[in-house]
């Protein structure tokens, strides 16, 4: 069907904005992970210190330990996601630079 036209896709400015947005999300994620991970550390430490005894204390302490472990894992996963977002942001910046260079070479910008 004739010559295939190139899809212009996003502009360099749009790519850079997406990169900025990803970096902002990564920064927020790291901040949340920093407070989320250790959230139950103190409570678990106090519960394990033998302050209370009995079956309810044992089951509650076990539940707190499990939730603490889950929170730490979630925080770690969130930091890993933030790192991937930073990598993607850099790739978007690279795409924006390449696209801008290409447009300049064509005389389009």
Torsion sign across C-alpha atoms 85, 90, 93, 95: negative
Element (H, E) at 32: helix 12-36
Q: If DSSP codes are grouped into helix, strand and coil, which group holds residue 48?
A: helix
Number of domains in the chain: 1
Residues of the domain holding 40: 12-106
Instruction: For 61-97, write each residue's pLDDT tens digit.
Output: 999 999 999 999 999 999 999 999 999 999 999 999 9
Domain-located, residue 7: no
Instruction: For 14-35, write each residue's pLDDT tens digit.
Output: 999 999 999 999 999 999 999 9
Closest CA to 30 of 82, 89, 84: 82
Q: Between 20 and 51, whose confidence is greater?
A: 20
The C-alpha angle with vertex 90 and arms to 86 and 93, in degrees rounded to 5, equals 135
Domain-located, residue 44: yes
pLDDT of residue 35: 94
Domain-located, residue 4: no
């Amino acid at each position: 069907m004739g010559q295939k036209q190139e899809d212009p896709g996003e502009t360099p400015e749009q790519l850079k904005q997406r990169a900025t947005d990803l970096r902002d999300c990564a920064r927020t994620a790291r901040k949340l992970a920093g407070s989320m991970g250790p959230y139950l550390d103190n409570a678990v430490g106090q519960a394990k210190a033998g302050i209370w005894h009995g079956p309810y204390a044992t089951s509650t302490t076990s539940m707190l330990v499990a939730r603490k472990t889950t929170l730490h894992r979630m925080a770690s996963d969130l930091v890993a996601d933030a790192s991937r977002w930073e990598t993607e942001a850099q790739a978007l910046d690279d795409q924006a630079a390449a696209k801008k260079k290409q447009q300049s070479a064509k005389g389009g910008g």
